[in-house]
Structure 1
Amino acid sequence: MLKSVRNTPARILIVDDEPANIQVLAESLPGFDLRFATSATRALELAMEQAPDLILLDVVMPGMDGFDALRWLKAESRTQHIPVIFVTTMTEVEDEERGFAYGAVDYIQKPVSPAIVRARVRTHLELKRQRDLLEEHAALDGLTGIANRRRFDQELGRSWHAAQRSGLPLTLMLIDVDQFKRFNDYYGHSPGDECLRRVASALDHAFSRGEDLAARYGGEEFALLLAGADGASQAQRALAAVQALQIPHARSDSGLFVSISVGVVTTLAAPGTSADAAMSLADGLLYAAKNGGRDRAEVDNLITGERVTVQSLPSSELPS
């Protein structure tokens, strides 16, 4: 499910090799969710584990310095949009220019003024909040209000890289509303749009865990990105969610109501595999489901080698 920009205390990562400096900054920022690191290496680990909303970064540190840490953050897709404020004793204009060239949003000189720290942190957090709102709006499908294909492709890339590191499985699902052109031709485009909105809402609510994402992939096609390996049961959930809507479809060959066909792939993001290949396989399975009679799912578990067909439940067995 696409999540709104959160309304919780901003998470700030303070990075300095001197604990006393960390304490001064922490005391300047009451009311925030503060995290701490005494080395650039540890800061990068924390940022990858749970991205902060803003980083206060010392420049001069043993080992990796602040400049190198910033370059690393900006090179990594999951951290490149985090605003970074340098906090340093360095006073040369050339150093400040270098920091801005690498992507820092601001520069605070030590010894710090708590009031200045608070003001600049709040300014850059507000700028980030506005950016996040714009990005969230750009990630929505205009008709259905769920994620659009651009957002799905971005999340698929991020989830694929995360799965490569964790070794945990992913399930990808492509869904097509059966004989939707006939629906549009018979009922009209306005009812057709309402049909797509209802299908989108049903899928979005059926797959509402924090790590799930439902998106409109294009036209009458939807896509789901799910954590876990239970592809067959998830396919059954998708079929049931749309079946329960009972949207009349007088021109369907599959029954009295709007139905969907589904292609499902469960896989590990192993070396030598790609998200594009997995999506291509899901697309092939979707067309196999349509050619097999529609109102069903074709599920391929690449981990176990099992291939199954999942059909919709009789109306009497649908959850009430």
Structure 2
Amino acid sequence: MTDLKPKILIVDDERLNIRLLYEGLKDEYQIIVGSTGRDAIRLATKELPDLVLLDIGLDDISGHEVCKALKANPTTKNIPIIFVTAQDTYEDELKGLELGAIDYFRKPFSIPLVRVRVRNQIELKRKTDMLQYLSSIDGLTGLANRRQFDEHLSSTVRYADRQHRGLCLLMIDIDRFKQYNDLYGHVRGDDALKVVARVLKKCAARPLDFIARFGGEEFIILLTDSSPEEGALVAERIREQVEKLFIPHEGSEYGFLSVSVGVANIKPDVGEHIDERAFVEHADTCLYFAKESGRNRVISEDFELQIKPNSKK
């Protein structure tokens, strides 16, 4: 059974302090421990705890420097940090809070008080995480929304640039969707959007495949480490699976609901950089040609001519 307890990282160079905190918190939380600043950075990055209890006076790197490093890393910047310290000056506390810590425990600490304050911070993080999740999800389909897609595309393009990996970008549009809404109503239209979203999830199911609702009746899929052949295959599978549903659509030339798909393919060479905006525009252009040439079809093209050298590399 998966342990769903919140995870706390305790970092202190005194074993007695670690033992006291461990015994006081182990019943409610998963506990990870470290004794150095390097431990703190490594474990926080690897384990992504829900909270870090961090001693300031570590032997190798000060707690302040550890806090600064964690807050500078996009992976760990949102992990709340509570300093545990024997220091008792206003300036010291102010410095920690300015670096991004959320609270202070002073040694010697009271375990009942520690439990309450830790519980409050864990509950606050849970609510914050939920709000962040909801802000990145399309409420109707449950897919990622445009905002989350833009963030994911930026990080994936950086990865592809560094590693020279292939990307395929699929732009999917439901054919004659306005007419479908006019004929059958917006409730049926919403149902159609949800059905298409389920098809996308089924057809692009690899761990690195990323699906989002791009807006209205448009969806977008980013396939990482994929060849043009793989991108075209996924696109055709999507088109075929939607067609096989035979959802009636009297406003369509086919008599049933269908989708058109545009696919842009890219694999940067050494010293080349993908222009994110142009990459998306190219997929959109492919989609336009798919619709102009009759709808219910896939148009796939390489994006190589759109790559521009990155002068910074």
- TM-score, normalized by length of structure 1? 0.78
Query: Quick one: distance in 1 between partners of 2:53 and 2:36?
Result: 12
Counterpart pick for 1:87 among 73, 84, 93: 84
Q: Deviations over 1:215-255 (max 9, x none)?
A: 211111012234431323322332234223321122323x2
Of 106, 109, 127, the match for 2:106: 109
SS for the counterpart of 1:174 is: strand
Q: Deviations over 1:135-167 (max 9, x none)?
A: 222223243343221222233334445566676
Question: What is the aligned partner in structure 1 of residue 7 from structure 2?
Answer: 11
Aligned to 1:190, the other structure's residue is in SS state helix
Match of 1:133 in 2: 130
Spell out the pairing of 1:292-307 with structure 2 (5 A cutoff): 292-300=293-301
- 1:174 maps to 171
Q: Which moved more, 1:139-148 or 1:51-60?
A: 139-148
Alignment of 1:25-40 (within 5 A): 25-31=21-27, 32-40=29-37
TM superposition shift of 1:209: 5.1
Residue 184 (structure 2) aligns with: 187
Q: How does 1:248-287 map to 2 (within 5 A)?
A: 248-253=248-253, 255-267=254-266, 272-287=273-288
2:8 corresponds to which letter in structure 1?
I
The Cα offsets for residues 106-141 of structure 1, whole Å up to 9 and x where unpaired, read as 111223333333322221111111112222222232
Q: Which stretch has the larger CA shift, 18-27 or 108-117?
A: 18-27
Question: 1:313 maps to what in 2?
Answer: none
- Deviation by residue 1:191-211 (Cα, 9 ceiling, x = unmatched): 323322322233234445554
Paired with 2:140 and 2:65, the residues of 1 have a C-alpha distance of 44
Give, as a single letter, the amino acid of the residue that structure 2 aligns with 1:102. Answer: L
1:120 aligns with: 117
Q: Render the CA deviation track for 1:36-59: whole Å, top value 9, x for unaligned.
A: 343334433443344222222222
Segment of structure 1 superposing worse, 7-16 or 174-183: 7-16
Q: Which moved more, 1:85-94 or 1:185-194?
A: 185-194
Check 1:81–1:180 CA distance in 2 against 1; reply closer, same or farther (3 A cut). same
**What SS class does the counterpart of residue 176 from structure 1 fall into?**
strand
1:144/1:196 contact within 8 Å kept = yes
Relative to 1, partners in 2 of residues 1:100 and 1:177: Cα closer, same or farther, differing over 3 Å?
A: same
What letter matches 1:13 in structure 2? L
Deviates more, 1:165-174 or 1:223-232: 165-174
5 Å matches for 1:158-237? 158-161=155-158, 169-208=166-205, 211-229=208-226, 230-237=230-237
Alignment of 1:25-104 (within 5 A): 25-31=21-27, 32-104=29-101
Match of 1:157 in 2: 154
- How much has 1:274 moved relative to structure 2? 4.4
**Counterpart-to-counterpart distance in 1, 2:167 and 2:6:** 30
* Amino acid of the structure 2 residue aligned with 1:264: V
Task: Decide whether the 8 Å contact of 1:231 with 1:301 is kept in 2.
Answer: no
Q: For the residues of structure 1 that align with 2:302 and 2:155, how far apart are their CA atoms? A: 21
The AA in structure 2 aligned to 1:281 is H
Distance (whole Å) between structure 2 residues aligned to residue 71 and residue 80 of structure 1: 9
Contact residue 140 and residue 147 of structure 1 kept, 8 A: yes
One-letter amino acid of the structure 1 residue matched with residue 260 of structure 2: S
Name the residue aligned to 1:242.
Answer: 242
Contact map agreement 1:52 1:82 (CA 8 A) in 2: yes
Tell me, in whole angstroms, the C-alpha distance in 2 between the residues paired with 1:203 and 1:18: 52
Q: Is the 8 A contact 2:279 2:303 kept in 1?
A: no
Task: Name the CA shift for 1:240/1:161 in 2 (closer, same or farther; >3 Å).
Answer: same
The residue identity in structure 2 corresponding to 1:245 is L
- Do the aligned residues in 2 keep the contact of 1:12 with 1:52 (CA within 8 Å)? yes
Aligned residue identity for 1:43: A
Match of 1:318 in 2: none
Asked if the contact 1:174–1:221 (Cα under 8 Å) also holds between the matched residues in 2, the reply is yes
Is there any run of 5+ residues in structure 1 with no aligned partner, and where?
1-5, 304-320
Alignment coverage as a number of residue pairs: 298
Letter in 2 for 1:299: S
Q: Is the Cα–Cα contact under 8 Å of residues 144 and 197 in structure 1 kept in the other structure?
A: yes
* 8 Å CA contact retained: 2:160, 2:267: yes
Q: Indicate how the Cα distance of structure 1 residues 282 and 33 shifts in structure 2: closer, same or farther if over 3 A, else same.
A: farther
Gaps of 5+ in 2: 305-313
Query: Which whole-Å CA distance do the structure 1 matches of 2:173 and 2:12 have between them?
Result: 52
Equivalent residue letter for 2:124: L
CA contact (8 A) 2:282 2:303 kept: no
Alignment-mate amino acid for residue 102 of structure 2: V
